[in-house]
Amino acid sequence: MSEITQTPEPPYYAVIFSSHRTEGDNGYSEMAKRMVELASEQPGFLGVESARENVGITVSYWASLEAITNWKKNAEHREAQRLGHQQWYSSFRVRVAKVEHEYGI
């Protein structure tokens, strides 16, 4: 996930997931990879960017709030959320933002 996502003309939505991990992998890497694969199959998914140092930040891009809601309800994603609460994260925040403007080179 080293590329910058090519997104459509705004507006669209960004889900920003900021986290602190617990010690050890405990199946996290495999599940993170699976979640990207699964998200990419969801209607309205536009892409994802992720970085981790002291704080992990993953931003997924979506065409609509409905697409985000449907992703949150996905059964396999809900299981990953449960495991995240129980064993992978010591703290996290999820923020949903509407992207109204973008620019870059």
CA 82 to chain CA centroid, nearest Å = 15
pTM of the model: 0.92
20-37 per-position pLDDT tens digit: 999 999 999 999 999 999
3-state DSSP call for residue 17? strand
| Residue-level pLDDT at 3 | 87
